[in-house]
Chains A and B, each alone.
Chain A
Amino acid sequence: MNEKLNIQSLVELLVARNSINKKDADVLVKEFFRLIEESLEKDKYVKIKGLGTFKLIDVDSRESVNINTGERFEIQEHTKVSFVPEASLREAINRPFSHFETVVLEEETETGDSLADIISDEEEQKDDGTAQESAAKTVDTDEIDDVSSMEIVSDSAISENSEQQQHCDELMIKEEQRAVEMDNVEEDVEPETNDANIRVEKDSANERTDYTDIEEHTDNSELLEEVDAETSDTSLPPSRKNKFVSMRYFISIAILIILLSAVAVIHMCFPNLFSNKAEILDKSSSTKVENVTNQVVSIDSVALGDTISGINKNDYTETEASKKGIAKQKTNSKDANTTKGATDNTNSNTANVASIKSSQKSAAFEPDSVNYNIVGTKTTYTISEGETLTRIALRFYGTKALWPYLVKHNPLIIKNPDRVPCGTTINIPILQKKDSVYR
């Protein structure tokens, strides 16, 4: 990296890598280039496999203006030496950037870098490049070093970069706004790769905990600082890097917030994810959700009743007297908004229901109505708000699958199993398994 090799070094390489003796190697290298020169003179065209093609190109004279004096003068016709690298070599050298493709740009609708800004930035960079070639050399080689060490990263960097200019992402808006804020915009591989580096790490961080996000972020900034130090002597302003860094902060913070809110939502729904089964069983009666309908009864008394009632599922008659139920809903009324008098109990109840459900998830839930006989009425039950036939079946029989028997046993009361109004009193049948005694 950054080394300047000459004939001697090429000779040494031949000796070391290819076990050619020094004298032969020396003669070879010198004669090689001499021959190119002579063949070029003779044929004006030399093609070397693995390297490329040397050509002599004749240039006609043209008029030009002396920059300082402004007077016109003529550039003489002359012959220039041109070299075009071979395709395989081109590809090999461009390997750090190999995944990039030229893409069609859509119309810029974003605030931020306008086309004019981008073009002026590029021109600015070109001027920098021509003006400070030697500095650029070191910069380039630095960049190449970084680039080569962050291959995968640079891909996302550039794709991210082109995304910026193509899509209207919220994140991109932020970045471009930062870009606008900064005065010195310099397009550079390094900030891009740093950017990409941070982005890649960030992408992976999405799946980790908040803590690691922060950790990585500090790592990123450290990495940035290292890279900054490397190129501090060059003419590159760090403004662009800063831009990207601060944008990274925004993104990481946004991700943090999203994660935290997700955790909060989950805890709202399942606050007692780790509670024991005893609670689960007796709280299941008060399940479901406060809201959805306006007919909320005294949940507090219900909850109280729940806590008092025993673990035994069958002791429902006491607790359910005050409840009212609603339409049958198969699934997540658990996610109940805890807006209406959301007591901890009800919360825990819904959570418990959820945990019950989750514990019974493995059990297949196929509505069952053929394996059992109805042999009598066990008891009656008043449906409270938010209750469904499946839940009631679950409570009485330990499985949701037997709800059709409830319907079967109450043909006059339950006209539509999907719509059983709360407050309906239904008979709970005693079910006997057809091939065995069930209770």
Chain B
Amino acid sequence: MSNKEFTAELSRRLGLTMKDTSEMVAFLVSNMAQELQEGNVVAIQSFGTFEVKKKAERITVNPTTKLRMLVPPKLVLNFKPSTALKDKFK
């Protein structure tokens, strides 16, 4: 389901215009993103948790060129589905 379809369905359920719902969704998502950037954890009951995790730097070997590369450390966004969700799809 693409973004458009999602927004359309959401607007239908909320009884709002597409424009309004897309705007609200954008607000919601940007708020979440902002909190995540500050390092907070977003946990949604029966859905899952969004978390920022740090990945350490590591040495890898490019299999084709055989060069040893140093991958720098980074912060990644991680989603962990809740058990309810996992069971639902099992």
Q: Using a CB–CB distance below 8 Å, which chain A residues touch chain B?
A: 1-7, 10, 13-14, 17-18, 20, 24, 27-29, 31-33, 35-37, 39-43, 45-52, 54, 56, 78-83, 85, 89-90, 92-97, 100-105, 115, 118-119, 122, 125-126, 129, 137, 140-141, 143-145, 147-148, 158, 161-162, 165-166, 187, 189
Contacts and interface: CB of A to CB of B under 8 A. Distances in A.
B86 interface: yes
A78 B90 contact: yes
Contacts of A115: 59
20 contacts: A5-B35, A6-B44, A7-B44, A7-B45, A10-B31, A14-B31, A17-B27, A18-B24, A39-B1, A40-B89, A50-B30, A54-B79, A81-B81, A90-B76, A104-B70, A115-B59, A122-B59, A141-B40, A144-B75, A162-B70
B74 A100 contact: yes
Given A7-B45, A17-B27, A94-B76, 4 more contacts: A41-B89, A80-B89, A105-B68, A140-B54
Interface of B: 1-3, 5-6, 9-10, 13-14, 24-33, 35-45, 47-48, 51-54, 56-59, 67-77, 79, 81, 85-86, 88-90
Contact of A122 (B24, B33, B47, B56): B56
Contacts of B3: 47-49
Given A43-B1, A93-B75, A102-B70, A32 B25 contact: yes
Contacts of A7: 44-45
A37 B56 CA distance: 32
B72 A101 contact: yes
Contacts of B39: 1-2, 140-141, 144-145, 148
Contacts, number: 198
Nearest to B78: A83
Contacts of B88: 37, 41
Contact of A51 (B29, B43, B75, B86): B29
Nearest to A19: B27
B24 A20 contact: yes
Contact of B28 (A28, A46, A79, A129): A28
A51 B40 CA distance: 16
Contacts of B57: 122, 158, 161, 187
Given A48-B25, A140-B53, A100 B77 contact: no
Given A17-B27, A28-B24, A36 B47 contact: yes
Contacts of B73: 97, 100, 158, 189
B28 to A, nearest CB: 6
B25 to A, nearest CB: 7
Contacts of A137: 41, 51
B89 A143 contact: no
Contact of B72 (A2, A82, A102, A148): A102
B72 A162 contact: yes
A155 B75 CA distance: 14
Contacts of A89: 33, 36, 77
Contacts of B30: 50
A94 B55 CA distance: 10
B48 A102 contact: no
